[in-house]
């Protein structure tokens, strides 16, 4: 394995400037950004990316669900071969940080900029992708663009998805000018490597710089709805109530207790709870809550889903409510290609960087690309493990290290 002789050419200040330009499109707090999928802020980020790609002489492909793929062939001896792809996503949650997703896209550009400046030659072209709606915060499912890219979701289904504010993906893509014509699903790349912040506490807590990601845990998003009897808060005796808010509250505490009981890597979250009519003096008519369950173990995740369904039915019966549930997202745990994980680890160690293997707690586009090509992820630490929060931060030296490892991994793969 070659290590990059001399300077890598990675300019971390240029990388930071691009991350700042993206964040400043729709700033949240000191450092954060709100670029919900297909909003004007997301359009602004897409426009910036396409401008940077054009400046690098990349061929820009926008597909039928708005995925952006830039291909750099200037350094390739065999440009007709399937490219090696990197990338991530530009959309954020509403209270997003500066690095989640954007770092992986901008670092991909940084690698190409460094290779071009040093006339690096490889067999294969390099591609950088920005997948549509990775977060799933405005439209479900999450990882929407990469699901379509790998033929795990029909483009028609994605285009028809309706946002939490009542518009479809197709309408919003047309409105922001990113309803592309490049076909999806696409021909799989030769390999895919995603660079991302860990978004959790492990690397930061240990003082480890690089994570060689072994895989991604399984994800189950369900929406539960309890329907009861709306009534006057003052005149309705407690024993005559059919209160959906009470049932929802029982589920919120149950999810926490279930995760503790199952132990291991089980996590459970109720991040969204809606009451109707949501008025101080009205016993609600209905309550809707979204439950996010995750585990690296597929069987335990199924057990968690089973117990949640049983508890929701039990609470509904006791409170004489109707209960319904619908699955919003369901992904099995994914293990990345062992040889690819080995490569990430070997490159990091060869550069003298502290490294460890770990599974990802967060979902990523890489877990979709893993269905169609050899795939790996590289993590860098998140300060205090904070993410999906404007306070998200990663040390510039860690951002540089991650990008340098990405450059070396991409170069090794592009010569295969």
Q: What residues contact residue 398 under an 8 Å CB cut-off, 6+ apart?
A: 209, 380, 381
| Minimum separation from the CB atom of position 131 to ligand HGY (A) | 11
> Please, which residue, 108 or 136, has the CB nearer to ligand HGY?
136
Determine the Cα–Cα distance for residues 10 and 126; give it in Å rounded to an integer.
16
Burial class (CB in 10 A: 0-12, 13-18, 19+), 231: middle
Burial class (CB in 10 A: 0-12, 13-18, 19+), 50: middle
| Minimum separation from the CB atom of position 199 to ligand HGY (A) | 7
List 362, 370, 378, 401, residue binding ligand HGY (CB under 6 A): 362
What angle (nearest 5°) sits at the alpha carbon of residue 256, between those of residues 224 and 323? 20
Using rule CB under 6 A, residue 198 touches ligand HGY: no
Name the binder of 101 from Mn ion, ligand HGY, none, CB < 5-8 A by kind: Mn ion
| Minimum separation from the CB atom of position 337 to ligand HGY (A) | 21
Determine the Cα–Cα distance for residues 305 and 324; give it in Å rounded to an integer.
14
Determine the Cα–Cα distance for residues 245 and 226; give it in Å rounded to an integer.
8
Using rule CB under 6 A, residue 44 touches ligand HGY: no
The contact pattern for ligand HGY, residues 303-342, with x = CB under 6 A and - = no contact, is: ----------------------------------------
| Minimum separation from the CB atom of position 134 to ligand HGY (A) | 6
Name the binder of 142 from ligand HGY, Mn ion, none, CB < 5-8 A by kind: ligand HGY
Determine the Cα–Cα distance for residues 202 and 384; give it in Å rounded to an integer.
9
Determine the Cα–Cα distance for residues 25 and 259; give it in Å rounded to an integer.
38
Structure tokens at 388: 């999906």
Site for ligand HGY in 80-139 (CB under 6 A): 134-136
> Please, which residue, 69 or 170, has the CB nearer to Mn ion?
69
Name the binder of 83 from Mn ion, ligand HGY, none, CB < 5-8 A by kind: none
> Please, which residue, 44 or 136, has the CB nearer to ligand HGY?
136
Site for ligand HGY in 227-246 (CB under 6 A): none
> Please, which residue, 66 or 136, has the CB nearer to ligand HGY?
136
Where do contacts with Mn ion occur on this chain (CB under 5 A)?
100-101
Determine the Cα–Cα distance for residues 35 and 94; give it in Å rounded to an integer.
7
Name the binder of 363 from Mn ion, ligand HGY, none, CB < 5-8 A by kind: ligand HGY
CB 91 within 8 A of CB 145: no
Question: How many residues make contact with ligand HGY (CB under 6 A)?
Answer: 6
> Please, which residue, 112 or 362, has the CB nearer to ligand HGY?
362
List 96, 218, 363, 381, residue binding ligand HGY (CB under 6 A): 363
- φ/ψ of 16, rounded to 5, equals -65, -40
The neighbour count for residue 167, using CB atoms within 10 Å, is 15
| Minimum separation from the CB atom of position 272 to ligand HGY (A) | 12
Determine the Cα–Cα distance for residues 220 and 67; give it in Å rounded to an integer.
24
C-alpha separations of 256 from 264, 283, 369 in Å: 14, 25, 32
Q: Using omega within 30 degrees of 0 as the cis cutoff, is the peptide bond preceding 266 cis?
A: no
| Minimum separation from the CB atom of position 66 to ligand HGY (A) | 17
DSSP string, 232-258: ETTTS-GGG---HHHHHHHHHHHHHHH
| Minimum separation from the CB atom of position 353 to ligand HGY (A) | 25
| Minimum separation from the CB atom of position 135 to ligand HGY (A) | 5
> Please, which residue, 110 or 134, has the CB nearer to ligand HGY?
134
| Minimum separation from the CB atom of position 80 to Mn ion (A) | 32
Greatest C-alpha distance within the chain:
80
> Please, which residue, 113 or 142, has the CB nearer to ligand HGY?
142
CB 169 within 8 A of CB 346: no
Using rule CB under 6 A, residue 142 touches ligand HGY: yes
Chain residues that interact with ligand HGY, rule: CB under 6 A: 134-136, 142, 362-363
């Amino acid at each position: 394995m070659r290590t990059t002789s001399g300077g890598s050419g990675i300019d971390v200040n240029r990388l930071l400037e691009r991350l700042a330009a993206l964040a400043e499109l729709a700033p949240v707090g000191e450092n954060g950004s709100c670029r919900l999928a297909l909003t004007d802020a997301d359009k602004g980020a897409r426009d910036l990316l396409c401008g940077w790609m054009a400046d690098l002489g990349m061929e820009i492909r926008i597909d039928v669900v708005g995925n952006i793929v830039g291909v750099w062939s200037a350094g390739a001896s065999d440009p007709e071969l399937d490219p090696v792809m990197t990338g991530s996503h530009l959309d954020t949650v509403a209270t997003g940080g500066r690095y989640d997703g954007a770092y992986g896209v901008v670092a991909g550009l940084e690698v190409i900029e460094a290779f071009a400046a040093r006339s690096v030659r490889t067999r294969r072209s390099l591609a950088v992708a920005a997948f549509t709606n990775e977060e799933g915060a405005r439209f479900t499912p999450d990882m929407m663009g990469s699901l379509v890219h790998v033929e795990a979701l029909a483009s028609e289904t994605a285009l028809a998805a309706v946002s939490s504010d009542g518009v479809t993906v197709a309408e919003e893509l047309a409105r922001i000018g990113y309803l592309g014509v490049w076909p999806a699903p696409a021909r799989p790349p030769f390999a895919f490597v995603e660079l991302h912040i860990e978004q959790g506490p492990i690397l930061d807590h240990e003082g480890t710089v690089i994570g060689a990601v072994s895989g991604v845990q399984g994800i189950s998003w369900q929406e539960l709805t309890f329907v009861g009897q709306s009534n006057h808060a003052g005149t309705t005796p407690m024993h005559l109530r059919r209160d959906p808010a009470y049932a929802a509250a029982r589920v919120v505490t149950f999810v926490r207790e279930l995760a503790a009981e199952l132990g291991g890597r089980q996590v459970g979250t109720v991040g969204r709870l809606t009451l109707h009519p949501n008025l101080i003096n009205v016993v609600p008519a209905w309550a809707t809550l979204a439950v996010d369950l995750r585990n690296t173990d597929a069987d335990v995740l199924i057990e968690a889903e089973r117990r949640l369904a049983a508890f929701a039915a039990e609470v509904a019966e006791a409170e004489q409510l109707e209960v319904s549930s619908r699955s919003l997202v369901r992904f099995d745990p994914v293990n990345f290609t062992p040889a690819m994980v080995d490569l990430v680890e070997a490159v990091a160690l060869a550069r003298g960087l502290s490294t460890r293997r770990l599974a990802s707690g967060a979902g990523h586009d890489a877990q979709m690309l893993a269905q169609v090509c050899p795939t790996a992820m590289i993590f860098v630490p998140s300060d205090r493990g904070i993410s999906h929060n404007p306070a998200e931060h990663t040390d510039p030296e860690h951002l540089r290290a991650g990008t340098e490892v990405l450059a070396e991994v991409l170069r090794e793969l592009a010569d295969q």
